């Protein structure tokens, strides 16, 4: 049985208004799932429905076969949620903020002491434990929010843009940690940073206007768009002309005056040396969101 299941999940914020999510159905087991799409695709709406912050216009969310609304506190106890918005108690210190949420999650003082120290070390904030939240940078606040989501060692972990504002080394550390704890957990990670999920997600879901446009393992989604991804080497002086003809292109290297480019097109472009290309998750995104 899937750990977390959505059936025909739909959400409309205003009566007779547009649908933010449309008949979303999916089964999540243990592991990391990536959620990709442009702004307004429905990612945050989906996450708020899963954690119970919103009630769906239609459809249901089930945890191990039981509708989450009927589980009440039992569901909240196995849930960790990191929202995209930095809604923090600015006058609290980092440590006080985490102890406050540890109490809300029902952790004992002994458990809270251990977990807070572990998590502050993980997110590189031990030296800042007694700083007030208002004094932190945006990236540091992101790390506090992530630590908060992990306090109760949740079975369901929902992360909305967890690495926003972090430098590359911090992103790598957080990504590696998320992967290391995925066994026995269902982790749903929404991001605009494709590298955050390319190596760790067992499946990726692409949303557009509240609908799933593609989903599956890395191999499955890459195979689906392979016919539309090409590459070639062209002289640097030709690149500007090709850039005008094929706006969905990206430079992937340059050597001795030759520019290597990838081009997204419905059929092979008429360029000397054009060939099918190896496909990455970024290419999938470029195909799906022209």
Q: Which residue has the tokens 């949620």?
A: 81
* Neighbouring residues of 238: CB distance < 8 A, sequence distance ≥ 6: none
Sign of CA dihedral 122, 193, 224, 5: positive
- Considering all CA atoms of the chain, what is the largest pairwise distance in Å, rounded to the nearest integer? 68
* CA gap 126, 287 in Å, rounded: 42
List helix spans (H) across the chain: 43-50, 68-71, 73-76, 94-104, 109-122, 138-150, 168-180, 195-198, 218-225, 236-245, 281-288
Q: Note down pLDDT in tens along the chain; length 290 residues.
A: 568 999 999 999 988 888 999 999 999 999 999 999 998 999 999 999 999 999 999 999 999 999 999 998 899 899 999 987 667 789 999 999 999 999 989 899 999 999 999 999 988 899 999 999 999 988 888 889 989 999 999 999 999 988 877 888 888 888 888 888 888 899 999 998 898 899 899 999 999 999 999 999 999 999 999 999 999 998 888 888 887 788 888 888 888 788 899 999 998 888 888 999 999 999 999 999 98
Q: What is the DSSP letter of 267?
A: S
* CA gap 82, 155 in Å, rounded: 14
């Amino acid at each position: 049985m899937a750990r977390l299941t959505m059936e025909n999940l739909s959400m409309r914020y205003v009566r007779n208004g547009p649908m933010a999510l449309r008949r979303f159905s999916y089964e999540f087991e243990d592991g990391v799932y990536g959620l990709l799409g442009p702004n307004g695709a429905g990612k945050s709406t989906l996450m708020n429905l899963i954690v119970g912050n919103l009630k769906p216009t239609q459809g249901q969310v089930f945890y191990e076969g039981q509708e989450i609304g009927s589980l009440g506190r039992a569901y909240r106890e196995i849930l960790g949620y990191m929202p995209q918005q930095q809604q923090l108690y600015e006058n609290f210190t980092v440590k006080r903020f985490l102890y406050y949420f540890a109490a809300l999650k029902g952790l004992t003082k002994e458990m809270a002491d251990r977990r807070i120290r572990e998590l502050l070390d993980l997110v590189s904030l031990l030296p800042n434990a007694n700083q007030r939240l208002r004094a932190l940078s945006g990236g540091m606040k992101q790390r506090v929010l992530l630590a908060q989501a992990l306090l109760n060692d949740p079975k369901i972990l929902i992360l909305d843009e967890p690495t926003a504002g972090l430098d590359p080394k911090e992103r790598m550390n957080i990504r590696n940690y998320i992967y290391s704890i995925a066994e026995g957990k269902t982790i749903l990670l929404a991001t605009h940073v494709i590298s955050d999920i390319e190596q760790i997600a067992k499946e990726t879901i692409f949303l557009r206007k509240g609908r799933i446009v593609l989903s599956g393992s890395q191999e499955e989604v890459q195979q689906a768009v392979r016919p539309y991804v090409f590459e070639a080497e062209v002289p640097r002086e030709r690149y500007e002309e090709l850039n005008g003809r094929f706006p969905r292109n990206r430079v992937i290297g340059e050597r001795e005056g030759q520019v290597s480019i990838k081009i997204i097109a419905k059929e092979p472009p008429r360029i000397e040396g054009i060939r099918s290309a190896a496909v990455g998750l970024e290419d999938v995104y470029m195909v799906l969101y022209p």
